C-alpha cells in the first residue's frame, strides 16, 4: 500500500523521467503532461493495491499503456506498411541535423521497439526493469532491442544514401 509520503516521493523522483519518456514517444508536450498527470491520479486511486517497492515499474507500465491508448484514440500511430513510399528526408535549412535524423529513424520503429530503445538507450533502464515495466521477459526485451537497433541502423544508412545523392 502506498501512503501519502511514498506517493509524494514517487512524484518527485519519477515525474520528470516519465514525462521525458512519454514526450519522446508522442512529441506533444501538453499531451505528455496530461498522461503523466493521469498516471499519478491512477496511482492515488489504486494506492491500496500498489506495492511501494514496485511503484516505479507500476508508474512506467501505466504511462506506457495510457500513452498507447492515447495514440490509438488520436490515430497518431503510423502503420509500418508502406513507409518506404514516404519521403522522411527533410534537410534543415541550417545543414546536417544528426539528432533530427535519429529522431526520424526512431519514429519509423514499431511502438514497442521505440519504447524499448527510449527506456534502454535514453533513460538507462536495464533489461529486467524494462521487462517489468512493459510486462515482457528479459529475453523478449533483448530481442526487441536488437531488432530496433538493426532497423535504426538500416534507416540511418538509407538517410545517408539519400543525402549523398542529393
Look at residues 134, 102, 104 and name the one whose alpha carbon lies nearest to residue 119: 134
**For residues 26, 60, 148 and 31, what is the CA-based torsion angle, rounded to 10 degrees?**
0
Contacts of 133 (CB under 8 A, 6+ apart): 57, 60, 61, 64, 119, 125
What are the sequence ranges of the domains in the chain? 1-77, 79-166
What is the phi/psi pair of residue 77, to 5°? -80, 125
Q: Residue 96: its pLDDT value, please?
A: 54
pLDDT tens digits along 127-143: 999 998 888 999 999 99
**DSSP type of residue 136:** -
- State how far the alpha carbon of 109 is from the alpha carbons of 28, 46, 69, 84, 112, in Å: 18, 32, 18, 12, 8
CA angle 117, 144, 52 (to 5 degrees): 65
- Which of 116, 146, 147, 144 minimizes the C-alpha distance to 129? 116
| 110 confidence band (pLDDT: 50, 70, 90) | very high
pLDDT of residue 75: 60
Compute the mean pLDDT over every residue in the chain, rounded to the nearest whole number. 83
What single DSSP character describes residue 53?
Answer: G
Q: In residues, how long is the chain? A: 166
- Is 1-77 a domain of CATH 1.10.10? no
Closest to 54 (Cα-Cα) out of 111, 122, 135: 135
**Residue 163's pLDDT band (boundaries 50, 70, 90)?**
low
Query: What is the arithmetic mean of pLDDT over 51-59?
Result: 91
Q: So what's the pLDDT on residue 79?
A: 41
Encode pLDDT of 77-99 as tens digits: 444 333 344 344 444 444 456 77
Residue corresponding to grid cell 536488437: 146
CATH classification of 79-166, choosing from 3.30.1330.20, 1.10.10.10, 1.20.210.10, 3.40.47.10? Answer: 1.10.10.10
Amino acid at each position: 500500500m502506498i501512503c501519502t509520503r511514498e506517493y509524494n516521493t514517487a512524484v518527485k523522483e519519477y515525474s520528470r523521467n516519465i514525462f521525458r519518456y512519454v514526450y519522446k514517444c508522442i512529441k506533444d508536450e501538453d499531451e505528455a503532461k496530461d498522461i503523466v498527470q493521469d498516471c499519478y491520479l491512477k496511482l492515488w486511486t489504486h494506492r491500496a493495491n500498489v506495492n511501494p517497492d514496485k511503484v516505479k515499474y507500476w508508474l512506467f507500465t501505466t504511462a506506457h499503456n495510457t500513452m498507447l491508448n492515447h495514440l490509438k484514440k488520436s490515430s497518431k500511430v503510423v502503420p509500418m506498411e508502406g513507409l518506404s513510399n514516404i519521403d522522411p528526408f527533410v534537410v534543415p535549412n541550417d545543414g546536417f541535423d544528426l539528432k533530427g535524423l535519429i529522431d526520424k529513424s526512431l519514429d519509423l520503429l514499431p511502438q514497442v521497439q521505440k519504447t524499448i530503445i527510449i527506456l534502454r538507450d535514453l533513460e538507462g533502464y536495464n533489461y529486467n526493469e524494462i521487462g517489468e515495466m512493459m510486462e515482457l521477459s528479459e529475453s523478449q526485451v533483448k530481442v526487441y532491442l536488437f531488432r530496433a537497433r538493426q532497423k535504426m541502423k538500416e534507416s540511418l544508412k538509407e538517410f545517408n544514401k539519400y543525402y549523398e545523392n542529393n
